[in-house]
Amino acid sequence: MHMKKVIIPLILGLSLLVLTSCAIFTTKGRAGKAEETSRARIVNVEGQIVANTTEKLDTIAGLAYGTDYALSKVNDPPREVVVARDINQRVVSLAGSPTVEKMKEMQETIDKLVSMLATERDEGKARLNEKDEAISALQTQTKLLSSAKDSEIRKYMLTAQEAAASADAYKSALQEYQGWFGLKAVFKGLWQFLKSSMWILGIGSILFLVLRMVAMSNPIAASVFSIFNIIGSWAVNAIKLLVPKAVEMAGHTANGVFNIYKSTMWKLVDGIQIIKDRAAAKGQAPNLNEVLDEVSKSMNTDEKAIIEEIKKALNWKQ
């Protein structure tokens, strides 16, 4: 049981140390994370700009197709119309051909706009107004995305400057650890460890003393202070496990040994008192042999061995 109490905390502590060390060595710094985040934002805005540009090209392709479809309705077209259709074909070649759905939509819109019926022309104008609103929304989105991209680029430049400054600072700090065939880094690391340890021990000692004083009069503080008792027991058990005789040589007695001697003394005193009470009841003096017999009945082998060991230490004959 004692070994389990020591080994389990040690295993947990070592596991925590390994996991923490892995996290330290695999986690990126704040500057690197900030730079990655800024770069991801720029990429996101650029993706939205590409989508916006694609949508504009699709709209242009639809309008160019509608223009060609409208001009194709002119019977016996003059030279100007022929030239307009020829130039419009170049626009189509740049913007690409619209989808079949877009073609049908534009055909219906043009047919309504050139219709002889006023209601049909009004409906065509309404559809054309919807196109105007969609074009206006695309233009507004283009401006917003352009501004957003410029803003993210400025933020990224500031973040990159901070990352570069941080890298220079780390590089300068690392240069202080170079030299003496690598021993300079060892000594500096040890010095840093000592300073940090002194701070931790100093603050911990103050808190320990304050809590120890308060624990004398406050039950809540005493229950909190019991944590230190548990930690101390772990340390003592670890010492006993690693160096079994160290506690004994330091003048301390193990609980098992103490309990055996305590039990022996109790039985010895109890046996003497029983014989004294019996003798007093009879009006006689206590008999030593009766005392020894009574004590011998109540003791086990280990306790009798302790009595023999004490007799040997006092140079009494068997």
pLDDT at 23 over 70: no
Q: Is the pLDDT of residue 14 over 50?
A: no
What span, in angstroms and rounded, lies between the C-alpha atoms of 145 and 55?
Answer: 14
Band of pLDDT at residue 45, cut at 50, 70 and 90? confident
pLDDT tens readout for residues 94-116: 888 888 888 888 888 888 888 77
Instruction: Flag whether pLDDT at 31 surpasses 70.
Output: no
What span, in angstroms and rounded, lies between the C-alpha atoms of 308 and 62? 114
**In this structure, is residue 143 part of a structural domain?**
yes
- Find the domain containing 192 and state its range: 184-249
If one compares 137 and 115, the residue with the highest pLDDT of the two is: 137
Whether the predicted pLDDT of 163 surpasses 80 = no
Same domain, 200 and 268: no
Across the range 130-150, mean pLDDT stands at 85
> Which spans in the chain are helix H?
2-26, 30-72, 79-95, 100-113, 118-175, 183-215, 219-242, 246-249, 255-282, 288-298, 301-313
Write out the DSSP string of 19-75. Answer: HHHHHHHHSPPHHHHHHHHHHHHHHHHHHHHHHHHHHHHHHHHHHHHHHHHHHHT-S
Number of structural domains (the chain) is 3
Contacts of 185 (CB under 8 A, 6+ apart): 177, 178
Assigned domain for 305 exists: yes
Mean pLDDT of 190-215: 82
Write out pLDDT tens, residues 245-270: 665 565 555 566 667 777 777 777 77
Nearest to 174 by CA among 166, 17, 25: 166
Residue 48 lies in a domain: yes
Does some domain include residue 221? yes
pLDDT of residue 118: 84
| Domain stop point among 157, 175, 193 | 175
Distance CA 106, CA 63 (A): 7
Neighbours of 65 (CB within 10 A): 22
Q: How confident is the model at residue 124 (pLDDT cuts 50, 70, 90)?
A: confident
Which of 112-116, 146-150, 159-163 has the largest mean confidence?
Answer: 146-150
Compute the distance between CA of residue 250 and CA of residue 145 in angstroms, rounded to an integer: 77
Q: What is the pLDDT, as a whole number, of residue 314?
A: 65
- Examine the domain organization and report whether 231 and 260 are in the same domain: no
Which one is predicted more confidently, 275 or 148?
148
Highest mean pLDDT among 97-101, 217-221, 297-301: 97-101
Q: Residue 299 CB: number of other CB atoms within 10 A? A: 17
Least confident piece of the model among 10-19, 122-131, 234-243: 10-19
pLDDT of residue 254: 59
Same domain, 122 and 66: yes
Q: Is residue 1 part of a domain?
A: no
86 and 226 together in one domain: no
pLDDT at 303: 75
Whether residue 305 is predicted with pLDDT greater than 60 in this model: the reply is yes
> Is residue 26 scored above 70 in pLDDT?
no
Co-location of 245 and 271 in the same domain: no
Q: Based on the domain organization, do 195 and 167 belong to the same domain?
A: no
Q: Are residues 143 and 281 in the same domain?
A: no
Does 318 reside within a domain?
no
**Same domain for 163 and 94:** yes
User: Which residue would you say has higher pLDDT here, 203 or 298?
Assistant: 203
Q: Residue 125 is encoded by which pair of tokens? A: 């104008």
The verdict on 209 and 234 lying in the same domain is yes
Which of 127-136, 209-218, 241-250, 297-306 has the highest average model confidence (pLDDT)? 127-136
* pLDDT confidence band for 17 (50 / 70 / 90): very low
Reported pTM: 0.41
Q: What is the pLDDT of residues 47-86, one digit of tens each?
A: 888 888 888 888 888 888 888 888 888 888 888 888 988 8
pLDDT score for 316: 66
2-11, 50-59, 85-94, range with the lowest pLDDT: 2-11
- Please check whether residue 271 is in contact with residue 295, taking contact to mean a CB–CB distance below 8 angstroms: yes
**Domain end marker among 200, 222, 249:** 249
